[in-house]
Amino acid sequence: MKAHWKRIAQFAVAALVVMLCGSIGMGIGVANWLRKDLPSPANLQTIAPPVKTLVYDRNDKLVHEFFKENRSLVPLREIPKPLVQAILAIEDRRFYTHWGIDPIRLVRALITDIIARRPEQGGSTITQQLARNLFLTHEKTFTRKLKEMVLAIRIEQTYTKDEILQMYFNQIYFGEGAYGVDAAAKVFFGKRVQELQLSECALLAGLPRNPRDYSPRRDPDRALRRRNLVLSQMLATRFLTRAQYEAASEEPLGVTKTRYNAQEAPYFMEMVRQYIDERYGSNQLYEGGLRIDTTIDIDLQHAAEEALESRLTALEQRNLYKKTRASLAKAGGGSARDRNQTEYLQGAVVSLEPGTGQILALIGGRDFNDSNFNRAVQAARQPGSAFKPFIYTAAIDNGFSPTDIILDTPISFRAGNGEDWSPQNYDKKFRGPVTLRNALAHSVNIPAAKLLQKLGTSVVTSYAKRMGIKSRLTPDLSLALGTSEVNLLELTSSYSVFADQGVRVNPYYIVRVADKNGKVLEQSRTSAEEVLSPETALTMTSMMKSVFETGTAAPARALGFTAPAAGKTGTTDDYTDAWFVGFVPGTVTGVWVGFDRKQKIGPRMTGAAAALPIWVDVMIAATSGHPAQDFPVPSGVESRLICTETGLLANPGCPSTEIELFREGSEPTGYCNVHTGTAKPAPEARDFHETDTEAPPEERLRL
């Protein structure tokens, strides 16, 4: 009998050995079959998820992100310990003891799947989840599950536990476009992952299992229950004390009402996007994790955006337009017919730092989503009288002085087609003898036209070009009225020559580009060239200061801007374009207002009425916190007390006098011969026009 049972036992053992060997052989065979379609260990060594590109302003503030997957990589040491514990408690509490697969959890999941006759229960460890996210699909099949298990084992053989955790935290999806814990912290709480509190960590830890259903914005009640489940699991695994658990469970969700969205300054950032895409390619831009340091001052940008929108809204209300931005949006018709034009009033703003050429703020329109046409750079419009400083610069640089007198009287110029052209002043009045300073300050057209004829259009256009105007300038006398189209950026940049004592610095907007490892790929270099003498630049600055003191920009003082400043208004004859470009020693800002389709802005909508208030708001923000500074006076500039009526040296009888600046050698030597108590001859004036002489061919007006 004993021999009988002995033979049975031997047979059973042999059968078990055969079954075990068969199972092992089958397992090896299945594993080898699965390995054919799985990535090699070499691929596991080079896991590199897409990383978003970050854009920073000049003060190191994050202002924009470019990405296909919203992800920022963070090392494990920077991830809060409560977040690590929360993930382990809810997803894989035996993570540090298993070898990629948790047998206990796997058996439980298999039993559930067998009962359901399909894959139902998760049972995946953190390593399995990482394998699935990196290399596999999310379909619920046994084959995918087997592949996931094989991959998990191979990952565990290749990486340490902490390395696996770090990859997991940077790879896993949390919902609402957030890949990785840092992106999730920003999307749901508007903060970096290092700043998360315990209850916030628990909420994030509960999301990866089902980001859509547990979304705190989609279903706050369900998200709260899920968060508290995570906290209870942390208590069960002794990561929390009872007091910590109870306190965290009472916390509100704390999710921000709107998604974190670092998408600032859209027109500026579109320039950045186009440049990086062209130079480095779209893969680097959206997946390469670049760091781009830019010139923008985001605080000034915000102030400029607020100034533009509030002032244009006020203009719409004042002029009672039938189509305003607000009314079109309310009616559902806010989108442009094409991406270049809108039906409502538009505007653009550019602010630069004169000494460096850095673009501090740039607005290309009121709504980038409605129209991505960049009116600061792409729109070519007539600058009106904002072109006149180039004429006066050429005059000052060629021997004229601010006190020279020119006759503001009716005039006709013979055009190339034989017809006459008679320019008119804005107010239809004639002032008689006026100094160059007053003619510029009050934007009088006829003296500008006479100066242009005397100097020659080729001379004036050469000055405009060397100062930064790149657009084509039509060489005829209508240049005096600013009829050749330019864009706001080039006009604003050219004015920075005055503020920088005659030095032109090309504007730029990207300071540095570095790869995800911190290696600098590109570093900007300032390109500077002296195009005017410091004496000419300061003389012109002094003349344009009169625009604020007594001229067309005098309303700026009533609007609250009191710092020393210089600038020029610009208005086209039909009120389709309104400009103001002005500067202080550290900032130059240009503003344009108009419609895309070149229709009339409104009655008397001059540069002073439509553009200057926006400029004032921007420059108040730009100079806030900085003491007011006047423009430095270089050597080679002389000051004299002159009679404002005659432009000569003042004597005690002159009723109106002022200190005037002159390039050395151009100052007057004679005293006023009008206010002497004797006979009062008319002051000498320069009148360059000869009615019986045709202008040279290059001066002929092309009508």
Task: Give catalytic residues, as residue numbers.
Answer: 91, 385
Tell me the sheet residues that pair with 512. 293, 523
> Would you state the structure tokens that stand for residue 353, as one six-digit string?
């730092």
Q: Which residue shows structure tokens 């050395």?
A: 664
Contacts of 3 (CB under 8 A, 6+ apart): none
Residues 374/270, Cβ–Cβ less than 8 Å:
yes
Which of 623, 604, 580 has its CA nearest to residue 349? 580
Strand pairing category for 405-408 and 173-175: unpaired
Tell me the sheet residues that pair with 588. 352, 583
Residue 62: helix, strand or coil by DSSP?
Answer: strand
Question: CA-to-CA distance for 338 and 694, rounded, in angstroms?
Answer: 46
Q: What are phi and psi of 95, to 5 degrees?
A: -55, -45
Residues 437/400, Cβ–Cβ less than 8 Å:
no
Question: CA-to-CA distance for 580 and 563, rounded, in angstroms?
Answer: 16
Residues 340/596, Cβ–Cβ less than 8 Å:
yes
Question: CA-to-CA distance for 410 and 428, rounded, in angstroms?
Answer: 10
Which of 574, 607, 605, 572 has its CA nearest to residue 590? 607
* DSSP string for 461-497: HHHHHHHT--S----SGGGGGT-S-B-HHHHHHHHHH
Q: What residue spans of 207-322 are helical by DSSP H?
A: 220-236, 242-249, 266-280, 282-287, 298-319
Question: CA-to-CA distance for 571 and 579, rounded, in angstroms?
Answer: 6
- Looking from the CA of 77 toward its CB, the CA atoms found within 13 Å total 0
Q: List the Cα angle 389/391/393 in 5-degree steps.
A: 65
